[in-house]
Amino acid sequence: MSDLTKYAQTRAARDPEFAEGLETGYTDFKVGALLRQAREKAGLTQDQVAERLATKKSAISRIEKSAGSIRFSTLERYAQAIGWQLSLELHPPRKSPNPLRSPR
C-alpha cells in the first residue's frame, strides 16, 4: 500500500466530508499530495518554493491541498522550482471504481 493510499484512508476515517468526496475528488487530491511529496523529497519548504515562484506560501499550500484546477504551465513551473522534471502519462482507466483499492 502506498503512502498516499495510507494517508487517504487515515484522513477519510477521521474526516467525514473528505470521505464523502473522496471518489470524486481523489484525482485532485492525488495531484496535490504528489506535489507535496515531491517538494518534501527535494528538501524544500513551502516558503522556499513560494520564493522561487515569486508567490506566497498560501498559494503553494492551496496547490498542495487541492490541485484540481491547476494549469499545466503551473505544474511545469512548480516542478522546475523544486528541481524536478514533470512528465505526463496517459493510460486507460482502471477497472476498479474505488481509487483506494489496490490493483491485483
Query: Is CATH 1.10.260.40 the right assignment for the domain spanning 3-81?
Result: yes
Higher pLDDT pick, 25 / 65:
65
What is the pLDDT at residue 33?
A: 86
Region for 43 from its dihedrals, namely left if φ exceeds 0, alpha if ψ lies in -120 to 50, beta otherwise: left
Task: Return the number of other C-beta atoms located less than 10 Å from residue 78's C-beta.
Answer: 22
Alpha-carbon torsion angle 3, 71, 73, 88, nearest 10: 50
Share of the chain above pLDDT 70, in %: 83
Q: What is the pTM of this model?
A: 0.65
Higher pLDDT pick, 86 / 2:
86
Closest CA to 82 of 32, 45, 56: 45
Residue 21 cell numbers, joined: 468526496
- Residue extents of the structural domains in the chain: 3-81
